[in-house]
Amino acid sequence: MHLTRFPVSSLRGTVTVPGDKSISHRAVMLGALAEGTTRITGFLMGEDCLSTISCFRKMGVEIDVSDEQVVVHGAGLHGLRAPSELLYTGNSGTTTRLLCGILAGQPFSSVLNGDASIQKRPMGRIIQPLRQMGADIDGKDGNLCPLTIRPASLSGIRYVLPVASAQLKSAILLAGLFADGQTTVIEPAPSRDHTERMLRGLGASVETDGSAITLTPPETLRAVDVEVPGDISSAAYFLVAGLILPDSELIIRNVGVNPTRTGILDALEAMGADIERLNERGEVEPICDLRVRSSRLHGTEIGGDIIPRLIDELPVLAVAAAFAEGETVIRDAQELKVKESDRIAAMTAELARAGADVRGTEDGMIIRGGRPLHGADFCSYADHRIAMSMAICALACEGASSIDDPACVAISYPAFFDTLDRLQHNE
């Protein structure tokens, strides 16, 4: 299916984006391992997080889902049951990798697999450290899904992460819950720290010393209720739309602004964006409302430690760069090649289709912005973030565009097009 999109002259109004995907996954996983009941409000009802729920139900965890909340009846650290069938993780890298860390320490065997995209994504990065802990894991061709995990006893390790990946860090820490002795991971650059924050909230000892994070395996985890803030990765589409369209002003409510996730705000501000943080609040996870107004953007250089802090926002940042004056260089972002699609190749091809001056590099993109772009038939590569980024691009192109496979946005933002349509009509 293709969805036709037309340019708009401005966007004004208020948006509440759906719950944070990373925090929603972790609330179900840690809720399942805790003693007691976890009530999760603001849970992201996207396909990825529903995959996490489905996997834990297959391991005997009772999870009630209603419009208002998700209630996880914790099984305790040693209460998961052997699944009678394969654990299917859909399109979700977070489900696959974090779950693998948990499964490595269970007294039963399991098999994990996902969709065509998941079957191409590198799993050697988790297999290797988990094996060092004593885990018995095999992947297809050594490095790919399906993954087969058999019972084993684990010991804590000290592991220097070869990539700044929160999925890898979290997989090791979650395996560490079931290991003898402490587990330490050392990050090359700070990645999102939702696992560490939530583990501490459940009573576990997670200490940070510079770039080293050490978990001491707890006796038990105590369930606490979780309020999931809005996902800054979803807010990013509206931030960029509000910036590149003239005469626009948007308020995005209840956005999670954990400092390990706010690289997008820093990068856009470096490009000249007018973004204000209002009503800052939140305890375990900081939250605020964001006000964005149309701005004359200019090019910038994005690389180094900021990359893990905005990794999922780079596709839409490339759209902002295409409408900014001058050159934007994105480097150190080779991880983009192993996301739901090769996001360097995808964004380079799709922005070029609209007439942008863009070149893909080994580790990023060089975009010379400022020329008018024209509508085109955009390809989403079955990747939710490419579909949403090109939908934002289409708003500022001359002439009509189309997006193929628009339904893939349901991975992280099922109501994305409805919300965009509502704003376009200033409702």
Q: Which is closer to ligand S3P, CB of 165 or CB of 294? A: 165
Cα–Cα distance, 96 to 112 (Å, whole number): 7
Annotation marks residue 305 as catalytic: no
How many residues are listed for the chain in this entry?
427
Binding of ligand S3P at residue 335 (CB under 6 A)? yes
Q: Which is closer to ligand S3P, CB of 291 or CB of 337? A: 337
Unique residue bearing structure tokens 């003693």? 35
Q: Lay out the site mask for ligand S3P across 279-318 (x = CB under 6 A, - = otherwise).
A: --------------------------------xx------
CA-wise closest residue to 24 among 40, 47, 36: 40
Binding of ligand S3P at residue 22 (CB under 6 A)? yes
Binding of ligand S3P at residue 58 (CB under 6 A)? no
One of 166, 171, 250, 271 touching ligand S3P (CB under 6 A): 166
Cα–Cα distance, 12 to 82 (Å, whole number): 51
Using CA atoms of 29, 40, 287, 338 in order, give the dihedral in degrees to the nearest 10.
Answer: 30
Contacts of 303 (CB under 8 A, 6+ apart): 329, 330, 331, 332, 333, 364
What phi and psi values does residue 73 have, to the nearest 5 degrees?
-95, 105
Considering 20, 48, 312, 383, which one is annotated as catalytic? 312
The nearest distance, CB 36 to ligand S3P, in angstroms, is 24
The nearest distance, CB 56 to ligand S3P, in angstroms, is 16
Q: Strands of 158-160's sheet, edge to edge?
A: 158-160, 183-186, 212-216, 205-209
Unique residue bearing structure tokens 């409000």? 41
Q: Which is closer to ligand S3P, CB of 311 or CB of 322? A: 311
Q: Which is closer to ligand S3P, CB of 271 or CB of 336? A: 336
The single-letter DSSP state of residue 60 is T
Q: Which is closer to ligand S3P, CB of 231 or CB of 350? A: 231
One of 24, 89, 94, 328 touching ligand S3P (CB under 6 A): 94
The residue whose Cβ lies closest to ligand S3P is 22
Q: Which is closer to ligand S3P, CB of 192 or CB of 353? A: 192
Residue 324 three-state SS: coil
Q: Is 362:334 a contact under the CB 8 Å cutoff? A: yes
Contacts of 247 (CB under 8 A, 6+ apart): 9, 10, 12, 294
Using CA atoms of 322, 325, 329, 330 in order, give the dihedral in degrees to the nearest 10.
Answer: -50
Paired tokens of 340: 């739901």
One of 51, 191, 380, 419 touching ligand S3P (CB under 6 A): 191
Stretch that binds ligand S3P, among 102-110, 162-170, 295-303, 367-375 (CB under 6 A): 162-170
Q: Which is closer to ligand S3P, CB of 49 or CB of 61? A: 49
Binding of ligand S3P at residue 44 (CB under 6 A)? no
Unique residue bearing structure tokens 């997670």? 206
Q: Which is closer to ligand S3P, CB of 56 or CB of 323? A: 56
Unique residue bearing structure tokens 């510079």? 210
Q: Is 120:143 a contact under the CB 8 Å cutoff? A: no
Binding of ligand S3P at residue 95 (CB under 6 A)? no
3-state helix vs strand vs coil in the chain, percent to 5: 35, 30, 35
The nearest distance, CB 327 to ligand S3P, in angstroms, is 26
* Total site size for ligand S3P, rule CB under 6 A: 11
Stretch that binds ligand S3P, among 165-173, 176-184, 221-229, 274-282 (CB under 6 A): 165-173
The nearest distance, CB 331 to ligand S3P, in angstroms, is 16
Stretch that binds ligand S3P, among 69-77, 113-121, 166-174, 297-305 (CB under 6 A): 166-174
Stretch that binds ligand S3P, among 27-35, 161-169, 267-275, 390-398 (CB under 6 A): 161-169
Measured in whole angstroms, how far is the alpha carbon of residue 242 from the centre of its chain? Answer: 22
One of 5, 192, 261, 353 touching ligand S3P (CB under 6 A): 192
What phi and psi values does residue 409 have, to the nearest 5 degrees?
-65, -15
Contacts of 103 (CB under 8 A, 6+ apart): 87, 110, 112, 149
The nearest distance, CB 368 to ligand S3P, in angstroms, is 27
One of 165, 262, 295, 348 touching ligand S3P (CB under 6 A): 165
Cα–Cα distance, 2 to 257 (Å, whole number): 34
Q: Which residues are catalytically annotated?
A: 312
Binding site for ligand S3P (CB under 6 A): 22, 94, 165-167, 170, 191-192, 311-312, 335
